[in-house]
Chains A and B, each alone.
Chain A
Amino acid sequence: MMEWGVAVNVHESYQRTIELANQVNTAGMSYIWVVDFPAPRFAPAVAVKIASMTSSSRIGIGLLPSLIYEPEYVVRFAETLTHEFGERFDLLIGPGDREALGAIGKKNWAPGKVVNKTVDNAVRIRHALDELDITCPVWLAAQGPRMIAESKKLDGVLLNLTDPTMVKWALEILHERDTSFRVGIFSPTKITDSPIDPPPNDFLYSAATVALGASHSLMQEFGIKDSIQSARQIYSNDSGLSPNVLDEIGLDNLLRWGFFATPEGLVHSLYQLEEIGVDTTIFGPPISHSQSSINLLLKAFKNYKGAKD
């Protein structure tokens, strides 16, 4: 059975984060995923609060950018959290959002070096936790082929992909993997009552954010290089996401980067993904902002669980 989780601590209020975490835990989902930078609240502190009021869901922490956090520091908060609340935590290590990191003075972005540092940090964290005899799975956030391949050194990979053909491509890069290795996806999500709803802007902007970060190989493989590169140029000219960026990527393409679906449609998509080897789905923004969308997600989860049981 696929593990479901919801990303919290995105840009919603603290109170909303706590409400969401409670709902996810009560529904019996596998993960409350507490995102970190550039979210306005430091994830481990929020994770302490969530761990103190929940018991069943696991708590994912991250993405923790390797340019901000040294491995020793990550190990220390994993240790602190685990000692207090038990082995309920997972860590997600990745390079992080290049532009957001630039805003806090982290500009050392030679791509190869960042990949090396990220993988190296993640592996060091994993080993240090092993030495402390702490079970705390370490995931690598990945989209490009090198990071995907390197993720086999860790406990799992969280792909910034949703489209089944793209996910399949990523899984082919992984090739054979240990049975304990987890494959997850982190997807912009909006669940709607009606399949004919046009996708709202909050969903499209979230999907566009992910699309703009597409790796070179992925763009080549799926023939989206021209549109994404030109959208990046517009993004740069417009100093951020704009309707022009969305137009350039195109609606059909944007829909490949997240779930905009009815509860039934979502479950259908997840069955497809499960079949090709996805173990975990973390539903990302904008879903955390909308209670109606969360309610529909919970309904989808109930149906999915019911069918599996």
Chain B
Amino acid sequence: MYKASIGITTNMKLDATKWIAQKSDELGAASIWIGEDIGIGQEVFSLTASTLLHSNKVRVGTGIVPMSVHNISTLARAALGLHEIARDRFVLGIGIGGLQDLHKLGINLTKPVTALREAVGAFRKLWTGETVTTQNQLFELNNYNMRNIDGVQIPIFLGVRGPQMLRLSGEVADGVILSGPPDYLRYAVEEIDQAARKANRAPDAVEKVAWLPTIPTFKGGKESLAKKVVAIVVADMPKQVIDKLSIDSEKINRLRDAVAKGGPKAGIPFVDREMMDTFTISGDCEHMVDMFEKIAQLGVNEVVLGPPFSGDWRDAMTAIFQEIMSRRDT
């Protein structure tokens, strides 16, 4: 049985994130994943602390924070504090950060997989009180330790996409946060499981969380928003992901051309139901829960209901979780 979770981002208003944290246990959410919109909205670790304090049972994870915009010591120290506030409900979700963000910061990252592998190793050593010295393109530690801490184990999830990163997740991560169409998710899960086996790990030792754009088109949610999101997602999607899709490439190209010329709105007429079901989880309540189940069948453990939130999204979220729970009861 798959777990259903909620995704929020730092760009959301406090009253929205607080409502979600307070309602999460009642809704039956397994986790709340908090994505950091770089430089926008609430500060990610304060928001995470607040989310933990407004909830009782739900797991709360960053999903994800880009390593490129934080010093590694800040991430390690934030995770330790949140782990202690959470009493074992906290998960550190990290990624490298987008290429554009890296360029802006003047970071030329030619070995991102190595950097992320070393980061995971460094975190685990620091949290057991070890002194760490390491240097790569992303961070540097020289005889650094966190001083007088009791050893703790904090799960590390990686937000990854490419094949090498997927394999790295299978080797070293406690979980992975994936985003992409069902064909890609199937491929990603296989890659991760295979890498886990090669590393003598059980494939289910790596939790797989799928976070796709979810747009209810009921309770005031509009189909046009779902179509616009598809247009944005398709326009930004790397070729390596597009190539793995069974969807007609002509249709994809027409949509990409339209967005390139006129922006996301211009792409809306080129988005059909197949595309919506490929790139988003959208529709009425029953259809969305059907999609959750389909995605879970790809080997994913947890599916996230996340932004963009529009219309009467609180009611829509409640209805979706009620539908998920009622199907479980029967």
Which residues in A have some Cβ–Cβ distance to B below 8 Å?
A: 11, 13-15, 37-42, 44-49, 52, 68, 72-73, 76-77, 79-81, 83-84, 102-106
Mark contacts of B238-259 with chain A using CB atoms, 8 A cut-off: 1 yes-contact digit, 0 otherwise: 0000000000000000000000
- Which B residues touch A73, using CB under 8 A? 43
- The reply to whether A37 and B49 form a contact with Cβ atoms under 8 Å apart is no
Supply 10 further A-B pairs (C-beta < 8 A) apart from A46-B49, A104-B140, A104-B144: A14-B85, A37-B73, A37-B77, A42-B74, A45-B78, A76-B43, A77-B46, A80-B42, A80-B46, A105-B139
Bound: A44/B77 CA distance, A: 11
Contact across chains for B78 and A104 when beta carbons are under 8 A apart:
no
Whether B313 is near chain A, meaning CB under 8 Å from some CB there, is no
1/0 per residue B65-87: CB within 8 Å of A? 00000011110011011101100
Known A38-B147, A41-B77, A42-B78: A48·B53 in contact at CB below 8 Å = yes
With CB as the reference atom, state the residue of chain A lying closest to B51: A48
Q: Which residues of B contact A83 (CB under 8 A)?
A: 14
Is B143 positioned at the interface, with any CB of A under 8 Å from its CB? Answer: yes
Contacts of A14 in B (CB 8 A): 81, 84-85
> CB-nearest residue of chain B relative to A41?
B81
Give B92 Cβ to nearest chain A Cβ, in Å. Answer: 12
Partner of B81, one of A46, A80, A105: A46
B77 engages A103 (CB within 8 Å): no
**Residue in A15, A39, A47 whose CB lies within 8 Å of B77:** A39
- Please report the C-alpha to C-alpha distance between residue A73 and residue B46 in the assembled complex, in whole angstroms: 11
Q: How far is the CA of A81 from the CA of B49 in the complex (A)?
A: 10
With A11-B148, A41-B77, A41-B80 given, is the CB distance from A80 to B143 under 8 Å?
no
Contact A68 B14 (CB under 8 A): no
Contact B141 A105 (CB under 8 A): yes
Contact status B77-A68, CB under 8 Å: no
Given A48-B49, A68-B71, A103-B141, verify A41-B43 contact (CB < 8 Å).
no
Indicate the size class of the contact surface on chain B. Answer: 35 or more
Q: How far is the CA of A40 from the CA of B50 in the complex (A)?
A: 19
Pair A40/B147 contact, Cβ less than 8 Å: yes
Most central of A15, A48, A102 by chain B CB within 10 Å: A48
Q: Assess A104 versus B71: contact at CB under 8 Å? Given A14-B84, A41-B84, A73-B43.
A: yes
- Complex-state Cα separation, A265 to B47, whole angstroms: 43
Write out the residue numbers on chain B whose beta carbons fall within 8 Å of the beta carbon of A46. 49, 81, 85
19 contacts between A and B (CB under 8 A): A37-B77, A40-B80, A44-B46, A45-B48, A45-B81, A45-B82, A47-B46, A48-B85, A68-B73, A72-B39, A77-B46, A80-B50, A83-B14, A103-B141, A103-B142, A104-B73, A104-B141, A105-B71, A106-B71
Shortest Cβ distance from A72 into B: residue: B39
Question: Contact: A45 with B45, CB < 8 Å?
Answer: yes
Distance (whole angstroms) from the CB of A67 to the closest CB of chain B? 9
Looking across the interface, which residue of chain A has its beta carbon closest to that of B53? Answer: A52
* Chain A proximity of B67: nearest CB distance (Å): 13
CA distance A18 to B63 in the complex (A): 27
With a cutoff of 8 Å between Cβ atoms, the chain B residues found around residue A48 in the complex are 46, 49-50, 53, 85
Q: Would B72 and A104 count as touching, CB distance under 8 A?
A: yes
Inter-chain contacts of A42 with B (CB < 8 A) = 45, 74, 77-78, 80-81
Q: Which residues of B contact A84 (CB under 8 A)?
A: 14, 18, 46, 50
Residues of A within 8 A of B14 (CB): 80, 83-84
> Which residue of B is nearest A52, CB measured?
B53
Q: Which residues of A lie under 8 Å from residue B53 when comparing CB positions?
A: 48-49, 52
- If the complex has contacts A14-B84, A39-B77, A68-B74, are A45 and B142 also in contact, measured as CB distance less than 8 A? no
Contact check, B41 vs A40: say whether CB atoms are below 8 A apart: no
Q: Is B107 an interface residue (CB 8 A)?
A: no
A84 CA / B17 CA spacing, docked (Å)? 11
Does A102 lie within 8 Å of B77, measured CB to CB? no
Closest to B144 in A: A103
Q: Which 6 A-B pairs have the closest CB atoms?
A: A105-B140, A77-B43, A41-B81, A48-B49, A42-B78, A14-B84
- Which residues of A lie under 8 Å from residue B49 when comparing CB positions? 44-46, 48-49
B residues near A68, Cβ cutoff 8 Å: 71, 73-74
> What distance in Å separates the Cβ of A83 from its nearest Cβ neighbour in chain B?
5
Report the minimum CB–CB distance from B65 to chain A (whole Å).
12
Bound: A79/B45 CA distance, A: 13
In the assembled complex, the Cα of A46 lies from the Cα of B46 at a distance in Å of 8
B48 contact set on A, CB distance < 8 A:
45
Query: How far is it, in angstroms, between the C-alpha of A68 and the C-alpha of B76 when the chains are bound?
Result: 14
Within 8 A of A (CB), among B94-137: 135
A103 CA to B144 CA in the complex, in Å?
Answer: 5
Complex formed: what's the CA distance from A137 to B184 in Å? 50
Tell me the bound Cα distance from A41 to B84 in angstroms.
10
Contact between B142 and A102 (Cβ–Cβ < 8 Å)?
yes
Q: Which residue of A lies closest to B129 (CB)?
A: A40
User: Which of A39, A46, A72, A102 counts the most B-chain CB atoms under 10 A from its CB?
Assistant: A46
Q: Assuming A38-B147, A103-B141, is B45 touching A44 (CB within 8 A)?
A: yes
B146 within 8 A of A: yes
Q: Is B149's CB within 8 Å of the partner chain A?
A: yes
Most chain-A CB neighbours within 10 Å: which of B53, B81, B148?
B81
A165 CB to closest chain B CB, in angstroms?
A: 33
Measured between alpha carbons, how far is A39 from B147 in the docked complex, in Å? Answer: 8
Cα–Cα distance between A83 and B12 once the two chains are bound (Å): 13
**Contact across chains for B77 and A80 when beta carbons are under 8 A apart:** no
B2-36 to A contact mask, C-beta < 8 Å, 1/0: 00000000000010001000000000000000000
